[in-house]
Structure 1
Amino acid sequence: MVLGSNICIQKTLYEVLSVSEDATYDEVRAAYKSAALNTHPDKAQTTGEASVSSDEEQEFLSVQKAWEILRHPNSRAEYDKQLQSSRQNIEIIASEIEVGDMMVENTDDTVDLLHPCRCGDYFSITSCELGEMGILITADGEVELQTSDSVSASIVLGCGSCSLKVRLVINKTS
């Protein structure tokens, strides 16, 4: 099973079965049986509905898929490993800022752009780092040139002290 980058949007297999991630085999099995009975397409027909909707069918298939993976120790261990890995790769962005929101400090041959973090430290990037990306910054902190054809670009900046991140949105001015 391969987890997509949309793990934030989709339910985990544990959430599909309404069990905790540390649930025992017996707890997973009991949750599967209950979910399978509640989402089975034949249940809709016994309640007098004419046909099963695709959402109901998809829900039942999700329950089946969760059971197929979580019932086997090896596939469950692999799923858990992928789930943990995907959670570590998710970047949580505190906010978006623009170049104009940043403080400008001129040092020797570089321009430092700084934005205060709520922890008291700063998000920062230098004109040299931006230059490597094809973005030139003037001494007063204005975007002078962007070599790409795109109208805007964005860069994720991490705080120097804490784990917060912001997205620096750079708009082309010329």
Structure 2
Amino acid sequence: MVLGSKIFRQKTLYEVLSVSEDASYDEIRAAYKSAALNTHPDKAHTTLESSVPSNEQQEFLSVQKAWEILRSSKSRADYDKQLQSSRQNIEIIASEIEVGDMIIESTADSMELLYPCRCGDYFSITSCELGDMGILVTDDGEVDPQASNPASASVVLGCGSCSLKTRLVIDKTS
């Protein structure tokens, strides 16, 4: 999911800890300990209680987040899949659509939003998948403006049969 437009490239969790992506658990743990000591707020004589974190605090929080994800083999594997996917998402988007352009099919426990592809198949996403991203869709196919995410977001959807991609633009302000 792309929220807004970021021009700068965000560091990977491996870059935050200064380790390679194939680093062992012990290498990650040692890098975390070193980074945590070097970026700890006590070292900079600041506190984490400020409402706007300083650069040093942000760096420390990034180190903490990296450790929380990379220390567990399951969350690390999930992160690696997400990282690989994000690297492959540098493809050309065929079109942009909105939730209102999609066909809604309701099932017992969720809704599936579909948009026809020129190959005859569909681009699809479920309301549960959108909900996991913090985007709530009402039964009539409208985006719930009460959700806590930013006013607009987008999701790249792949066709079920061909290689075409479309961007689902979600605007909660309308």
Q: TM-score, normalised by structure 2?
A: 0.47
Choose between structure 1 and 2: higher strand proportion: 1
Larger Rg: 1
Q: Which has the higher contact order (CA 8 A, sep 6+)?
A: 2
